[in-house]
Amino acid sequence: MPFLTLADYKAAIKDHTLAQVIENDQVTRNTAELNAQSQMESYLAARYDTAAVFAATGTDRNPAVVMYLVDMVLYHLHARISPDMVPALRKERYDLAIRWLEMVNKQQINPNLPFPDPEDGDTKEEVRYGSNPKRSHHF
């Protein structure tokens, strides 16, 4: 079952415009969704359980993930038509989505997403190392 629904697009694009962009071919939309989802997973997989994130349905889905995924899908759909003529709004929203994903990946933003189950053994533990600055005492 796909993560996004047609209703998710209503806040970002009009129905008739979306139909024109995908040329009334739902396979094209589904392919773009899977490509964008895979791209988003590559950023989120370092810290979060992406299987659980994208298995959620309805109101259990994270609204930010839905919004940014829609923006990424629409960018990919427009780029499919004419890569050099992607609307500025789509480019800006795509860049914003990528910046958000990079900030999540760098742990500058912490969205409410499920972490991997530590019992699975696939968790990645972060190790920090270093020391305090060297001191020199001269009397």
Q: What is the pLDDT of residues 108-128, one digit of tens each?
A: 999 999 998 877 655 556 777
Task: Return the amino acid letter for 51.
Answer: A
- pLDDT tens-digit profile of 53-100? 999 999 999 999 999 999 999 999 999 998 888 999 999 999 999 999
d(CA 65, CA 82): 26
How far CA 44 is from CA of 49, 70, 100, 126, 136, in Å, comes to 8, 16, 11, 15, 43
- pLDDT tens-digit profile of 6-64? 999 999 999 999 999 999 999 999 999 999 999 999 999 989 999 999 999 999 999 99
CA neighbor of 100 nearest in space, from 34, 37, 40? 40
pTM: 0.81
Per the model's pLDDT, the better-predicted residue between 138 and 26 turns out to be 26
Q: For 59, which DSSP code?
A: G
